[in-house]
Amino acid sequence: MATNPAVPEFVEERLDALFAPYARTDAPGYCVGVRQHGRLIYRKAFGMASLELGVANTPRTRMRIGSTTKHFVALLALMLEAEGRLRLDDTVRLHIPELPPRSVEPTLRQLVTHTSGLRCYIDLSFLARGMAMMAADDVLPLQARQSRGNYPPGERMIYCNSGYMLLSKVVERATGQALPDLLRERVFAPMGMHDTVAITTDYALLPGAATLHVKLADGSYRRGIFPQEAFSGDGNIVSTLDDMLDWLAHLRAPGRVGTPAMFERMTTPCRLDNGTLHRYCLGLQRTPYRGVETIQHAGAVIGGSAQMQTVPAHALDIVIMSNGGPLSPTKLALHVIDAVLGDAVLGPRATMARTADFGDLVGRRYRTRGGIVFGFADAKGELGLSLFGHDAVPLRLEGSTLRLEFEDAAVGPLAIEAGAGAPDVLQFGECGNVEPARRIPDPYDRGATTLAALAGRYDVPDLDATATLEATADGGRLHIHAAGGETTLALEPIADDVLLWKNVDPLVPFVGAFVVRDDGALVLNSVRTRALLFLRRT
């Protein structure tokens, strides 16, 4: 009988060195679990589960896994499809008729693959009401109020929590059971995942669960609470290292829950209408890393994050959960792959675009006709893409093409054909859909004039909100008022008809751009919300 390859003795030392900076008593931290060939090779916790109570994280600490929840709901949908209760090719409105009709109706499959074109209800709520709590009865009406989507179904892929919120309602209506009960009865109990639960609000008290922590600018922490009373299949699971490691092993060799055919479908990349093959599957992503293929899905909530990743060819399973640690578990998981497999197994790293080779682009901004605004900045020696004013994300270089993959930004892939210098026009591609992007002239010194001309009241029908734009001494402010809450966006004009915006609340770090229409309306665009109209009152 073949034996499993031995794990090198130095692996634990490498992993200890990687996580040592987070072994603190004055900060939140991480729970880390690693198995290879079924053998547990690392299971440790770092930092504090509760700074308030002085309780440390342990390997048994429960933590939210955020959007890693999504593939569990996708599996439920496949199980119900096998029972004849729904079909992934059903239109969404067949199951949720409250939604408005569209010229092309998105399907359940498109909900699962983030290709429905729907706007994200979480982003919409943050825009309308900031951190005000969203009641359970608010969720579906907010989605149904949208007069249009981001794009036609199947055309592009933009990460959208609404897809899994709506899919959760579909499986609940198909079975007559609440999603937490369905997950417990059909997945967690058969798997023996006894410490894993789905809970709908961060206000719930859960024994053994870590407190979520958000670090403020002054270095202090506050409690992380997601402003929602109806957390659904887009991110409502709390789990532990052991349960998630068991689940990853089952994902590679399914037997107790679902069928092998279901898991094969869950890990099959989807194809967009233009033929582009996308790495996102049914709630999971197939992501190459240094010559090996990984299956993974990350998750984030306010004050916490997680990553679940497996390298099937090497039976390497990694779970990292955080309650407010400073570094993304997604990045840490890649460092774990480096430490365990090493350079002898792994291939070269992706080629990154160096700032030194694209110096003329640094500081330049461009805009597409569709309202996408992007710029370039230095990111520690690498050329970074700043999409809608976001912090710059390093770009990969393939020949003459600058690329940002879906896993880098939860949108795309994005591709920019880069020649010499900073040309007046660049070809910008989103999910294979290419359009010209024109350079925004700089510097721009008419900001005060632009803001003064735009000051006044606006109606935002899709948010059921009103807005007031005011010009201030240090720039503009747009105050959005909706039932139960409000939010304020700081404005920066970068052209006569383009304003960058940023939410002033540090707990809601959303950014985007407004394009000013000829009729005075403002058209809001961001990474996950497109063409949201602010209509100027006459």
**Per-residue pLDDT at 4:** 58
Q: What string of DSSP letters covers 511-525?
A: EEEEEE-TTS-EEEE
Segments of the chain scoring below 50 in pLDDT:
1-2
Alpha carbon dihedral 270, 275, 279, 281, in 10-degree steps, equals 0
Contact criterion met (CB below 8 Å) for 264 and 280 = no
CA distance 35 to 319: 9
Contact criterion met (CB below 8 Å) for 259 and 83 = no
CATH class of 1-66+194-349: alpha beta
**Per-residue pLDDT at 2:** 42
Do 1-66+194-349 and 447-536 share a fold? no
Residue 463 CA from chain centroid, whole number: 22
CA distance 97 to 173: 12
Contact criterion met (CB below 8 Å) for 526 and 511 = yes
CA distance 509 to 214: 12
Buried residues in 382-407 as b, exposed as e (16+ CB within 10 A): bbbbbbbbbebbbbbbeeeebbbbbb
Q: Are strands 532-536 and 456-460 parallel, antiparallel or unpaired?
A: antiparallel
Domain positions in the chain: 1-66+194-349, 355-439, 447-536
Q: Model-level pTM?
A: 0.95
For tokens 């593939």, name the residue. 71
Query: Which of 285, 289, 288, 281 shows the shortest CA–CA distance to 298?
Result: 285
Amino acid at 26: D
How do residues 222-242 score in pLDDT, each as one tens digit? 999 999 998 999 999 999 999
Query: Which of 106, 105, 92, 237 shows the shortest CA–CA distance to 174?
Result: 92
262 sits in which H/E element? helix 260-266
Contact criterion met (CB below 8 Å) for 200 and 236 = yes
Amino acid at 194: H
Of the candidate CATH numbers 3.90.1150.10, 2.40.128.50, 3.40.50.10470, 1.10.3720.10, the domain formed by 447-536 belongs to 2.40.128.50
